Amino acid sequence: MIIVMKPNAAEQSIRQVVQYIENKGLKTHLSCGEEITIIGVVGDKTRLGIENFASFKDVDRVVPVSESYKLTNRKFHPQPTSVKVGNTVIGPETFTLMAGPCAVESEEQLMCIAKAVAKSGASILRGGAYKPRTSPYSFQGLEEDGLRYMQTAARETGLSTICEVVSPQAIEAAVKYVDMIQIGARNMQNFYLLKEAGRSGLPVLLKRGLSATIEEWLNAAEYIVAEGNPDVVLCERGIRTFETATRNTLDISAVAVLREKTHLPVIVDPSHSTGFYKYVPPMAKAAAACGADGLMIEVHNDPPHALSDGPQSLTFEKFEKLCTELVPFAALSGRAFRAAKESV
């Protein structure tokens, strides 16, 4: 439940309510707006005696929260959250591009791609060092060597970095090299891994599971935030449906739904959702227009020979063109995005 304080409630009144709740063994989470403070309550509400709040000065009302996710709920935190990733901020006023190869293949390849995407407008370099693949015989990634290459590329270009992790051991390695970790679709409900990600100290990008509902997705995010890590970004990457024309079905409506249900930033991955480079630009523009906080796009120097997901990867030229075309679509939702940067 949440306790809504009266406009301009006294700080002492807020402290008294918080102390009462915590003395009963429950946790509190404050969301302080310009005039109104909301106190979120997590725990067994039967201990409280809701009727007792009427006796507290400056309490306006008590509102039950029926959803199972609490900390990620917009009712608990009405203002949108901004997440700092290295020298970049993902949030409500900017449009953030994450771009790079599905898999890190070599230091030279990654450096080449990093310079190209930075020049075109990306602020975060994505690259897979751990690759959970459908086939056990497919390329599985360079692991810690790949992470080292990510760190080197970041130093050379000024980009922030993100890499998927698939185990606690991968998290332990990743925190030494990258600015953000990603939990992929296949691990969205790996609750032990979610808890470890919450304890990592790094911001977390949480991709939607292949067949996950939005409520299941938000509950997965709750596992991370409940460990004391509020820096979570959600990524819509397509869900599995009966349609076979695309790799997955991009649920663009999820962006609008999440805007209502959660305060967490939301980005869209048009590469994994469509599986084909020709469909990436129109879906990227749709995501920008409907209010996504950013995009994750796969870019490769030689897509036909990529070790992973070549068919959905954009060339440097196609990515640069898309960045230019995205500017007015980002502006539709009131977001600033500068397409071209000075040469790196």
Please report how the helices 214-225 and 191-198 are oriented relative to each other, as an axis angle in degrees rounded to 10. 40
Tokens of 102: 């599905």
Residues 107 and 248 in one domain: yes
The answer to whether residue 144 is domain-embedded is yes
C-beta of residue 273 within 8 angstroms of C-beta of residue 247: yes
State whether 87 and 54 are in the same domain: no
Residue 289 in any domain: the answer is yes
Task: Count the domains in the chain.
Answer: 2
What gap in Å lies between CA 283 and CA 294, rounded to an integer? 12
Same domain, 146 and 281: yes
Residues 146 and 209 in one domain: yes
Is residue 54 domain-shared with residue 144, that is, in the same domain? no
One domain, residues 35 and 87: no
Tell me the average confidence (pLDDT) per consecutive run of 10 residues in the chain, 344 residues long. 90 92 90 86 83 87 90 92 96 94 94 97 94 65 90 97 95 96 97 97 97 98 96 98 96 97 98 97 97 97 93 97 95 82 46
287, 302 contact by CB (below 8 A): no
Residue 36 shares a structural domain with residue 114: no
Are residues 147 and 118 both part of a single domain?
A: yes
What spatial distance separates the first Cα and last Cα of the chain, rounded to whole Å? 50
Contact 99, 122 (CB under 8 A): yes
Residue 320 tokens, joined: 């640069």
CATH number where 59 lies: 3.30.70.1140
Residue-level pLDDT at 138: 65
Q: Which domain holds residue 289?
A: 83-332
Considering the domain architecture, whether residues 32 and 147 belong to the same structural domain is answered as no
Quick one: 248 and 133 in the same domain?
A: yes
Q: In what order do the strands lie in the sheet with 59-63?
A: 27-32, 37-42, 2-5, 59-63
Strands 88-90, 37-42: pairing kind: unpaired
27: in domain: yes
Residues 6+ apart with CB under 8 A from 19: none
pLDDT of residue 85: 97
205 and 323 inside one domain: yes
User: How far is C-alpha 313 from the chain's CA centre?
Assistant: 21
What secondary structure, in 3-state letters, does 208-232 show?
CCCCCCHHHHHHHHHHHHCCCCCCE
Indicate the pTM of the whole model.
Answer: 0.92
Q: CA 170 to CA 143: how far, in whole Å?
A: 8
For residue 341, being part of any structural domain is answered with no
CATH number at residue 282: 3.20.20.70
> What confidence score (pLDDT) does residue 45 get?
82
- Asked whether residue 115 falls in the same domain as residue 45, the answer is no
